[in-house]
């Protein structure tokens, strides 16, 4: 029995053997060794190799496994590795790719080296090229960019026997033969017939009797997150894609969508952690990481200088009662934590469509109550804690009130900002924990000093009466 | 053409009509209205209804659509709604569920009301019950809890024609007929035969000639995240599940895994945002939210009191140079942001298995360099910024050095904690942005005061010489 677990171990074991063969320069032994490897084992070995070794391995592979390997590499890796190979050999490999993978690879090559791309295209079959080019017009993050044109379509008047005969011929080129799409002369979708239904039907049954006319379909411009949601909600493994004229132009299969869900989750997680970085972390070098991360951190640092301005403005208060400075991190830090927590819950619920814009006031009302509870709990704690260290009860009361107001406002800010971002057409995930923390640092300080002046005013020489 | 978008609109339009019929109490009209609704439209209507209306709708549905609706409800909602129905009617509905859904529903009912569960079980077909009970022994988050026992198995000696005949009879009960599993007399998995391969083979071909012996399989205790990863890596739509004796006991289909990926992403996102809360945000009331959120926030607030202790300890320094207090939020806030950012990148890479424990020193070395770059950039900014407001160059230098050290240590802490958590068997996502922020608040203050004493020591009356 083949267990998947063996692949990783297998890969590590294989590297020394492969290296030994590469060193001998014996291309026949190399080809024989590679022929024994399963695609995923080969991919496991791949990342253990040096750039130069990778080129030799790819060149030694027959076009089909080479294409399979290539389709698993990222759009940054693909053109780099193709750079060293002869254009004819590249073209032979590309011919083996599925149309959607070919379209992606050609786009990557075009962006990396336009001249090389022209050369490779010259060696490709014009028909293959036409199918791939039809796909490159679509946005990568929409159904058009995910779909493959290799579906099977049948006519409503065919019999089960005719469809089966047709299938035997068409099957090798199709992405899936488990769902057959019934179209009219204008390529308009009329129904779907599952292979399952076909198998259990008598040979003379007509497609129109067997098919289901009730089809869920998407458009070429349906966003990939929406595609994933529809597939999950309806438990579908394939979705037909229609163009603006309702013509069937492709299908999206669930295995492509599985990758999309993981990618989208990574994007959301990065954004929410204040790292909206579109790079491969593992392979990025420190300079790239610095450039990408700093651009976002600079925004936060500059916003954070507002905290200096606030404290500087109220410096005379701290000069009089120095101990007040000691509570600053506890107060504003808790504000940031409360805000980040609720923002996380709201952002995720917006992303999974459990919440929509119209739910804002319901969420606000709920978080007003939750925020009051959190504020009262932490406010009481704060009053007790301060009183323990500081016998002056006025200071303890001022700190307690500040904590109530900070926790409550953090809760409202954290619940509101994601909705505001969605309303403005910005990804709510960009509110981010660091972003909320920064907002709450500034807001928390303003609340703190206003409350201190209000409660302790008469005790402070500079503030004879409560400020207006 | 049916577009999915219409469902939500449809649902909202349907509610008034449905309410009107419910008010008349005419059960025939209600049944007729419900019969016209597609499952997803019905689910859309469902959440717009009051509890009492839901009970009447569910009771009015025939067993099959009622079961479909039930299977889409959460394990908290299921027992509540079943409470008001007659046990016989509940049993009739449950009979229509797939074994994995039935197992989940029975478990939910058992936890909610053991007596009721016994009563309902009494009405169920013993064979159905046995299949479901076999599934309840497995962990919900492992392959055993995801799988269905409704797969189709064939013998290696059967011919294509025999398999097709067998399929026509067995198809209605199977979760998928697109992959047929070849087992021996001991139910041990020998190969897999796709319906695609079967269709294109001559009728007299034997299963052993058509099947692929090279199968990727999982165990009943394979974690669901691992299952999702294998399906995505190998582009599979079904995975066979083996028990400890290598016997085929079930299959996991990709549509179940699609939900898992979304759930796991939600869990990770909640944890990383400091809200490791296993509740449905949209339906939780403020008291539940308060209880769940506070338990985690209390930990952060209590840790945060350390900041008070640090500042209190060095209060004499702030008393002498009050302006130093004004930089505290800027310094420690930036530390938190830098740390949260790198922790987010590392946690996600660990979750997607792009990073493993063994990569720790490579990551540390990379983040040492990235942290130096960030530290130098922000340190220079800080020195310039402080010098602009504060002509004393020593203070500007002290602040610059502090910023370098805080950014660097935040980067190292943020990169290390997720690895430490993984090493300890804790989910790295629990390091969380608020957690890192809290650690960096305390560490940042310690760094700040040590640097201030070191650089400004001679200027401070209380610190005649640099501290050891």
CB contact under 8 A, B344 and A290: no
Tell me the chain A residues in contact with residue B319 when contact means C-beta distances shorter than 8 Å. Answer: 322
Q: How close, in Å, is residue B259 to chain A by CA atoms?
A: 6
Q: Are B372 and B386 in contact (CB under 8 A)?
A: no
Residue B266 has pLDDT above 90, yes or no: no
CB pairs under 8 A between A and B: 383
Q: What is the rounded CA–CA span in Å between residue A369 and residue B336?
A: 28
CB contact under 8 A, B297 and A334: yes
Tell me the chain A residues in contact with residue B345 when contact means C-beta distances shorter than 8 Å. Answer: 270, 273, 275, 277, 281
Tell me the chain A residues in contact with residue B341 when contact means C-beta distances shorter than 8 Å. Answer: 273-275, 293, 296-297, 434
Beta strands A179-183; A152-154: pairing state: parallel
Tell me the chain A residues in contact with residue B177 when contact means C-beta distances shorter than 8 Å. Answer: 195-196, 199
CB contact under 8 A, A329 and B441: yes
Question: What does the block give as tokens for B395?
Answer: 């203070």
* Mean pLDDT calculated for residue range A316-340: 91
A179-193, B123-137, B139-153, B452-466: which is most confident = A179-193
Q: What is the ipTM of this complex?
A: 0.76
- By C-alpha distance, the chain B residue nearest A196 is B177
Tell me the chain B residues in contact with residue A333 when contact means C-beta distances shorter than 8 Å. Answer: 300, 304, 307, 437-438, 441
CB contact under 8 A, B308 and A297: no
Share of chain A above pLDDT 70, in %: 94
pLDDT tens digit sequence for B367-377: 999 999 999 99
* Confidence category of residue B279, pLDDT binned at 50, 70, 90: confident
Q: How close, in Å, is residue B35 to chain A by CA atoms?
A: 15
Residue written as token pair 């934590």: A337
CB contact under 8 A, B217 and A40: no
- By C-alpha distance, the chain B residue nearest A342 is B275
- By C-alpha distance, the chain B residue nearest A352 is B262
Q: What is the rounded CA–CA span in Å between residue B69 and residue B58?
A: 8
Q: How close, in Å, is residue B40 to chain A by CA atoms?
A: 7
Round the average pLDDT of chain B to a whole number and report it.
Answer: 86
What's the pLDDT at B4? Answer: 43
Window from A201-210, A301-310, A443-452, B124-133 with minimum mean pLDDT:
B124-133
Of B237, B325, B345, the CB nearest to A275: B345
Round the average pLDDT of chain A to a whole number and report it.
Answer: 86
- By C-alpha distance, the chain A residue nearest B6 is A216
Q: Give the angle subtended at the CA of B12 by the CAs of B10 and B13, to the nearest 5°.
A: 65
pLDDT tens digit sequence for A205-235: 999 999 988 888 999 999 988 898 888 877 7
* Confidence category of residue B205, pLDDT binned at 50, 70, 90: very high
Tell me the chain A residues in contact with residue B231 when contact means C-beta distances shorter than 8 Å. Answer: 255, 258
CB contact under 8 A, A340 and B274: yes
Q: Are A10 and A2 in contact (CB under 8 A)?
A: no
Q: How many Å separate Cα A273 from the centre of its chain?
A: 13
Tell me the chain A residues in contact with residue B251 when contact means C-beta distances shorter than 8 Å. Answer: none
Beta strands A189-194; B152-154: pairing state: unpaired
DSSP-derived secondary structure for B95-146: HTS-HHHHHHHHHHHHHH-HHHHHHHHHHS-HHHHHHHHHHHTS-TTBHHHH
* Mean pLDDT calculated for residue range B278-299: 85
Q: Are B433 and A340 in contact (CB under 8 A)?
A: yes
CB contact under 8 A, A281 and B242: no
Residues 6+ apart with CB under 8 A from B118: none
Centre a 10 Å sphere on the Cβ of residue A186 and count the other Cβ atoms it contains.
8
Question: What does the block give as tokens for B194?
Answer: 């796709």
- By C-alpha distance, the chain A residue nearest B72 is A233
Of A168, A319, A325, the CB nearest to B200: A168
Q: How close, in Å, is residue A380 to chain B by CA atoms?
A: 12
Q: Are B453 and B460 in contact (CB under 8 A)?
A: yes
Among B191, B185, B182, which residue's Cα sits nearest to residue B162?
B182
Residue B168 has pLDDT above 70, yes or no: yes
Of B265, B323, B333, the CB nearest to A265: B265
CB contact under 8 A, B311 and A296: no
Q: Are A156 and A206 in contact (CB under 8 A)?
A: yes
Tell me the chain A residues in contact with residue B323 when contact means C-beta distances shorter than 8 Å. Answer: 312, 315
* Mean pLDDT calculated for residue range A256-284: 83
CB contact under 8 A, B334 and A297: yes
DSSP-derived secondary structure for B438-466: HHHHHHHHHHHHHHHHHHHGGG-TT-SS-
pLDDT tens digit sequence for A166-213: 888 887 777 788 899 999 988 999 999 998 888 888 889 999 999 988
CB contact under 8 A, A290 and B374: yes
Burial class (CB in 10 A: 0-12, 13-18, 19+), A354: middle
Q: How close, in Å, is residue B146 to chain A by CA atoms?
A: 14
Q: How close, in Å, is residue B122 to chain A by CA atoms?
A: 31
* Confidence category of residue A402, pLDDT binned at 50, 70, 90: very high
Q: How many Å separate Cα B345 from the centre of its chain?
A: 18
Among A276, A257, A253, which residue's Cα sits nearest to residue A266?
A276
What's the pLDDT at A323? Answer: 87
Q: What is the rounded CA–CA span in Å between residue A229 and residue B81?
A: 26
CB contact under 8 A, B286 and A366: yes
Q: Are A147 and A252 in contact (CB under 8 A)?
A: yes
SS3 at position B13? helix
Establish how many alpha carbons lie within 13 A of residue B374's alpha carbon, considering only the half-sphere containing its beta carbon: 34
- Where in A93-237 does DSSP place strands (E)? 152-154, 179-183, 189-194, 218-219
Tell me the chain B residues in contact with residue A273 when contact means C-beta distances shorter than 8 Å. Answer: 272, 340-341, 343-345, 347, 433
Tell me the chain B residues in contact with residue A341 when contact means C-beta distances shorter than 8 Å. Answer: 273-275, 293, 296-297, 434
Q: Which residue has the higher pLDDT, A136 or A375?
A: A375
- By C-alpha distance, the chain A residue nearest B363 is A282
CB contact under 8 A, B334 and A304: yes
Window from A414-418, A462-466, B424-428 with minimum mean pLDDT:
A462-466
Query: CA dihedral defined by B130, B134, B139, B141, rounded to 10 degrees?
Result: -80
CB contact under 8 A, B341 and A370: no
CB contact under 8 A, B232 and A255: yes
Tell me the chain B residues in contact with residue A389 when contact means C-beta distances shorter than 8 Å. Answer: 308, 312
Q: What is the rounded CA–CA span in Å between residue B8 and residue B14?
A: 10
* CA B340 vs CA A98, A465, B343, B419: distances in Å: 40, 42, 5, 14
Candidates A213, A252, A337, partner chain B, best to mutate (most B CBs within 10 A): A337
Question: What does the block give as tokens for A293?
Answer: 């991360």
CB contact under 8 A, A308 and B330: yes
Q: What is the rounded CA–CA span in Å between residue B287 and residue A363?
A: 14
CB contact under 8 A, A322 and B326: no
Beta strands B238-242; B218-219: pairing state: parallel
Q: What is the rounded CA–CA span in Å between residue B53 and residue B85?
A: 13
Residue A108, phi then psi, degrees to nearest 5: -65, -40
Window from B192-196, B356-360, B463-467 with minimum mean pLDDT:
B463-467
Residue written as token pair 């035997």: A168
Among B169, B158, B171, which residue's Cα sits nearest to residue A195?
B171
- By C-alpha distance, the chain A residue nearest B263 is A352
- By C-alpha distance, the chain B residue nearest A234 is B40
CB contact under 8 A, A437 and B336: yes
- By C-alpha distance, the chain A residue nearest B310 is A326
Q: Give the angle subtended at the CA of A351 by the CAs of A276 and B264, to the nearest 5°.
A: 85
Residue B104 has pLDDT above 60, yes or no: yes
Q: Which helix (H) or strand (E) holds A249?
A: strand A248-253
- By C-alpha distance, the chain A residue nearest B269 is A269
CB contact under 8 A, B304 and A329: yes
Residue B54 has pLDDT above 90, yes or no: no
Question: What does the block give as tokens for A19?
Answer: 């290296």
- By C-alpha distance, the chain A residue nearest B214 is A2
What's the pLDDT at B11? Answer: 54
Of B1, B233, B261, the CB nearest to A246: B1
CB contact under 8 A, B199 and A164: yes
Q: How close, in Å, is residue B60 to chain A by CA atoms?
A: 23
pLDDT tens digit sequence for B418-440: 999 999 999 999 888 899 999 99
Of A195, A242, A277, the CB nearest to B195: A195
* Confidence category of residue A50, pLDDT binned at 50, 70, 90: confident
């Amino acid at each position: 029995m083949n267990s998947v677990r063996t692949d990783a171990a297998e890969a590590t074991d294989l590297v020394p053997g492969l290296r030994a063969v590469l060193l001998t320069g014996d291309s026949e032994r190399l080809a024989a060794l590679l022929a024994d490897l399963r695609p995923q084992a080969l991919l496991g070995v791949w990342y253990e190799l040096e750039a130069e070794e990778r080129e030799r391995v790819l060149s030694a592979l027959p076009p089909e496994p080479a294409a399979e390997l290539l389709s698993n590499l990222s759009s940054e890796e693909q053109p780099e590795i193709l750079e060293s190979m002869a254009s004819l050999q590249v073209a032979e490999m590309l011919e083996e790719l599925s149309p959607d993978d070919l379209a992606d690879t050609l786009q990557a090559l075009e962006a990396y080296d336009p001249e090389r791309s022209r050369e490779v295209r010259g060696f490709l079959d014009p028909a293959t090229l036409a199918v791939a080019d039809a796909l490159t017009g679509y946005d990568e993050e929409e159904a058009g960019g995910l779909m493959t044109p290799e579906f099977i379509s049948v006519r409503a008047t065919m019999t089960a026997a005719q469809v089966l005969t047709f299938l035997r011929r068409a099957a090798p080129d199709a992405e899936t033969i488990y769902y057959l799409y019934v179209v009219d002369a204008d390529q308009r979708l009329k129904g779907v017939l599952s292979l399952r239904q076909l198998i259990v039907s008598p040979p003379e049954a007509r497609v129109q009797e067997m098919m289901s006319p009730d089809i869920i379909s998407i458009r070429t411009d349906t966003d990939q997150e929406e595609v994933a949601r529809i597939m999950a909600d309806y438990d579908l493994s394939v979705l037909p894609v229609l163009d603006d004229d309702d013509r069937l132009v492709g299908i999206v299969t669930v295995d492509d969508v599985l990758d999309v869900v993981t990618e989208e989750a990574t994007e959301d997680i990065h954004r929410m952690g204040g790292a909206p970085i579109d790079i491969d972390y593992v392979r990025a070098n420190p300079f790239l990481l610095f450039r990408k991360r700093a651009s976002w951190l600079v925004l936060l640092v500059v916003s954070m200088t507002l905290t200096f301005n606030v404290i500087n403005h109220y410096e005379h208060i701290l000069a009089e009662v120095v101990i007040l400075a000691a509570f600053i991190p506890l107060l504003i830090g808790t504000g940031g934590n409360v805000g980040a927590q609720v923002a996380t819950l709201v952002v995720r619920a917006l992303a999974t469509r459990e919440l929509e814009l119209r739910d804002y006031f319901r969420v606000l009302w709920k978080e007003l109550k939750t925020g009051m509870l959190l504020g009262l709990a932490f406010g009481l704690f704060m009053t007790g804690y301060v009183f323990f260290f500081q016998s002056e009860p006025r200071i303890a009361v001022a700190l307690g009130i500040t904590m109530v107001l900070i926790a409550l406002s953090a809760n409202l800010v954290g619940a509101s900002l994601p909705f505001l971002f969605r309303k403005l057409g910005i990804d709510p995930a960009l509110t981010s924990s660091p972003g909320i923390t920064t907002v709450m640092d500034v807001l928390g300080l303003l609340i703190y000093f206003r409350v201190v002046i209000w409660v302790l005013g008469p005790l402070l020489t500079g503030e004879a009466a409560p400020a207006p």
